[in-house]
Structure 1
C-alpha cells in the first residue's frame, strides 16, 4: 500500500478476496451493503486505483520509492495500559486442572488492575485457587485489536497475580464489568499487573 492508500489490488485492499472467500458475487455484496453494484465494481477495479494514483502522482513505484512494509513496534507499559483501559473482551491464560487453558472474558480496568466476573464454581473460579493462604495464582491476560484487511493492529500481554475479591472489596472491584453471558456472575477476580508488554503493527 502506498502512503495515500492506493493499491494495485483496488481502492479497498482485500475487498475482492474477502468477498470471494465468503462466496458472494458482486451483486450479492451490493445487495447486502445496500449500494449499487457499480460501486462494488469500482472499489474492486485495480486499473481505476492505478489511474487515480497516477493522476495524483502518489504511486510509490513511480516516485522511485519502495512500497512501505508493515513494521512491528514494541509498546511501553504506559501505552499498553492506555490501550486496554476502555475494557471489553480479553483472554485469560493459566494452567488449570486440564492443562494449559485460554478463555475469553469481559473485563474492565479499575485502579490499575484488571477486573473480570465469573460464576461461583466455574472454571475461572475453582481452577484459579492455590489452596494456600496468601499465595495467589499467576496468570496471563491478553487483549488485541486487529484488522485483517489492512494487516494492522496491536496486542497487549499482561502477567500478574490473580486475587479472588472478598465481600469487603466487592464495591470497589465491580467497576461496571458487564458480562455478555447470562447467569449469576457475582464472583469477581482481580489481576494485578506485574509485567506488561505490547506490540503494534504499523504501515508507512
Structure 2
C-alpha cells in the first residue's frame, strides 16, 4: 500500500485522498477477515492431516480452503505489486534527479524505494517453494515432513531479512507516511 501510494504521487503525479486510499486497502483485505471469522464461528470441526501432525480446525473444509487460497494469493501478489511500483518510482526519480536541484531529497526517496523493492522481492523468492510444498502437499501428500520444515524455515528467514532491510530506512519511510496524512513536514516530491 505504501509503495502503491508513492507510485500514484510520484509517477502518475496525481493528488489523492490518502485516507481514502488506505481505507480502500483495508477493504480489499476484508474477505480474509470474513472467511477467518466464518471459519472460527462454524460448528463443524475439520481434521487436516499431513506428515507432521493432525490439525483440528473449527470450521468447514470449504471455508478453510478459501482462507488458505486468499492468504496465499495476498502474500504473493502484494510483494509483487510493491516491487513493481518501487521499480517504476526509481525510474521516475532518476529522471527527476537530472532536472532538479534538491538532489538530497531525491536520493533519500530513491533509497526508500530501493529498500521497498529489495524487502518485497525477498518473500517472493522464497514464497514459491513455500506455496508449492504447503498448498500441494495437503491435497496430494507427495512430500515428506522435511519439505515442510525447510520451506517454513526459508519463508521465516526471507521475512526476517525483509524486515531488517526495511528497518534500515524506517525513519525516512515513517516521515513519508506521516507526510501523507499531513502529520509531519516532509518535502513532497511534486514540489521538487
Structure (1 or 2) with the greater helix fraction = 2
Greater Cα radius of gyration, structure 1 or 2: 1
Same fold (TM over 0.5): no
Structure (1 or 2) with the greater strand fraction = 1
The TM-score normalised by the length of structure 2 is 0.19
